[in-house]
Structure 1
Amino acid sequence: MANIKDVAERAGVSVATVSRVLNGRAPVAETRDRVLAAVAELGYRPNVVARALRTARTRTFGLVISDLRNPFFTELADAVEQEARRLGYSLIIGNAGESPGQQDDYIRTLLDRRIDGLMVSSAGTGSSMLHEAVASGTPLVLLDRALPGIAAPCVRAEGGTALRELAAHLAALGRHRPAVIVAPAGTPTGDERLEQFRAALAGHGIALPAERIAASPDLSPAGGREMMRRLLDLPGPPDAVLATDNLMALGALDEVRARGLRIPADLALVAFDDVAWFAHLDPPLTAVAQPTRELGRAAVHTLLERIEGREAPSVLLPTRLVVRRSCGEPPVH
């Protein structure tokens, strides 16, 4: 098997230069290309274990995602993986499936593998293994969901601006009986989105009473459909519904169609988290869009700051309201 000296001789550079290229720190592009060509020609494979023992680095990140079935988290994981690879890091992904126990199992496994840093989009609000990760000194970044008591920066989107735009949009359309299908009580993002939407509606003199707030048992299409059924069975059903998760929005849409109701003639429907196929529904679905790929890239760079021992503040990126036709056409003045 070829070794690093063979690569250096074939590329006409020093062993130190080969090492810098393989660690993502090539001095110039021409040198990098020459070294990588020699690596490919000789079939050289770095001894990752030996390098980790020398440098105390594995050049590996861990990412625990709350639920990979959710298109938002799928795209987020892809963005993290692409940026990590671009910077010369490998990524190990664990899917918590919205289960705190499963999440902790993955965190434990990743810590045992001596990863350089960890990113977690937490399932639930409690995790003994997150506290252990902090105590062990493993660089940690929270992604999408901030957690009380965890001393780590959080990279997430701020929904208040888009929800204020949504409240104004509904008010302009004469939708004065809104309802919300929200994540299970205690879910940080769900609680925050509910309060932001309630405050935004109040600014237009629109109330959001308790009977029009439906907390789903889980973040799933089935949960969204069950909550929409409950809302539509009210003596005074809503004329607009915001689902604070895209999978719950899908289930809510199923219930509306099963009853033969029309969107937007009978009911407006909005989702928090835009996904590509919302634009292809009939009618296309209005949604709050998060900067998903920017969140993934920001998480990687925040983690690298922590790995290098530098202070890394939390990152808050803006959302935007994507207005389509599921709430109705704005009145013409």
Structure 2
Amino acid sequence: MRARLKDVAAKAGVAPNTASTILNRKPNSWASEETRERVFKVAEELNYRPSRTALGLRTGSFKAIGLVVPDLHNPFYTAFSDCLERALRKFGYDLILEHSREDMDYQSKCLLSLLDRQIDAVAYFVNDLDKHLDFLAKAKEADKTVVALTGPPPKGAPHLPFDSIQIDFTSGFIEAVDHLIELGHQRFAFLSALSKGQSADGRPEMFNQLLQARGVTEENNIYLTCSHELEDMHRVFKEYLESQPPQRHPTALIALNDLAAIGAMRAAADCGFSVPGDISVVGVDDIPLGCFLPQRLSTIRQPIKDMAEATAMMLLNRLRSSSESSTAVQSKCFNTQFVCRETTSAVSSG
């Protein structure tokens, strides 16, 4: 049976309130050093651990943060979760994970479930802002701190009305496209993994404008979508390659996460293409696995550790602050960077 506070107090010969004050290291304790040592010794002997629920109700803090990740199979999210947990642990907070399985409807359920948990705040990746405005309103009603990880608002749009860690992919994509064009590529494919219930939004138009500004015609820019399953990433790109005559095959592929790039590379090999000899491939995220493939993956890097630490500090600063100025929306934006490795090369003369 789990030891209770009153069991510690009885064995140590003090009142429960005195034991609570000592064990919680409150500054208003008048107990002698001998009494404090005795209480801590008894607590250790009884393997006493304070109830998080009781402590949270008493102090207003459960010392726990909820994080909703879209896909635990994607090493990017596991790496981010690990970095965030390490950052929060330094301040005595636990991290509670929810896995939404790249399903927009299920993600909404995960978010609402966290509001009923004994946690102080929520962090999550926003795939579709419009679908999450209702959750943000409910979180405010529940007095839960929320930090969203999302892209920055479009130019000219109003600032986001909530605390956010923003990831701007613009610079990374421009660097990657310019690198590929310098290598002579003029036929591009983009492979985008979408969550269930998620639309492509303006991504096809964005890539088309990016390439057209660099002289690549619209017919030489194909946008493909797949699910977040590796098998589907492989299938979609393989079927596309098999459906096209040789003169229509893309010479460069940008996959919108590293796993999609890996699936596409396998599809290219299955169709008799070499990487990067026939098709140059670029991923997004810079997962550690990418450096240990037969050809090290060129990618658009997200600064995972910096993003996680900034998320932790934004959450903790909001939880600690009670001043009127704390109502101002907080945001921090990180840029991405193209990292050239071994899966891109000049267009084959053959």
TM-score, normalised by the number of residues in structure 2 = 0.77
Residues 176 and 338 of structure 2 are in contact (CA less than 8 Å); yes or no, is this contact kept in structure 1? yes
Report what 1:224 is aligned to.
233
Q: Distance in 2 between matches of 1:47 and 1:97?
A: 31
Aligned with 2:47 (options 28, 31, 43): 43
Aligned with 2:122 (options 118, 126, 129): 118
**Cα shift at 1:196:** 5.4
Letter in 1 for 2:301: A
**Cα shift at 1:169:** 1.0
Which range is displaced more, 138-147 or 251-260? 138-147
Which range is displaced more, 260-269 or 135-144? 135-144
Cα distance change of structure 1 residues 208 and 284 upon mapping to structure 2, 3 Å threshold:
farther
1:133-282, aligned counterparts within 5 Å? Answer: 133-144=139-150, 151-184=161-194, 197-209=207-219, 212-216=222-226, 218-232=227-241, 233-235=243-245, 236-282=248-294
Q: Distance in 1 between matches of 2:347 and 2:261?
A: 22
**Cα shift at 1:95:** 0.2
Cα distance change of structure 1 residues 144 and 79 upon mapping to structure 2, 3 Å threshold:
farther
Listed one character per residue, the Cα deviations across residues 151-202 of structure 1 (whole Å, up to 9, x for unaligned) are: 42221322111111112211121111111112339858x6576565444434
Aligned with 2:99 (options 95, 102, 111): 95
Q: Distance in 2 between matches of 1:170 and 1:195?
A: 19
**Cα shift at 1:208:** 4.6
Q: Percent identity?
A: 26
**Cα shift at 1:88:** 0.6
Q: Distance in 2 between matches of 1:70 and 1:299?
A: 19
Cα distance change of structure 1 residues 17 and 294 upon mapping to structure 2, 3 Å threshold:
farther
Report what 2:112 is aligned to.
108
Report what 1:327 is aligned to.
344
Report what 1:301 is aligned to.
313
Report what 1:52 is aligned to.
56
Q: Distance in 1 between matches of 2:78 and 2:95?
A: 14
**Cα shift at 1:86:** 1.4
Larger Rg, first or second structure (1 or 2)? 2
**Cα shift at 1:64:** 1.0
Letter in 2 for 1:138: K
Flag structure 1 segments of 5+ consecutive residues without an equivalent: 23-33
Q: Distance in 1 between matches of 2:159 and 2:109?
A: 20
SS in 2 for 1:54: helix
SS in 2 for 1:165: helix
Letter in 2 for 1:298: A
Cα distance change of structure 1 residues 255 and 287 upon mapping to structure 2, 3 Å threshold:
same
Residues 120 and 141 of structure 1 are in contact (CA less than 8 Å); yes or no, is this contact kept in structure 2? yes
Flag structure 2 segments of 5+ consecutive residues without an equivalent: 28-36
CA RMSD across the alignment:
3.5
Report what 1:313 is aligned to.
330
Report what 1:30 is aligned to.
none
Cα distance change of structure 1 residues 145 and 63 upon mapping to structure 2, 3 Å threshold:
farther
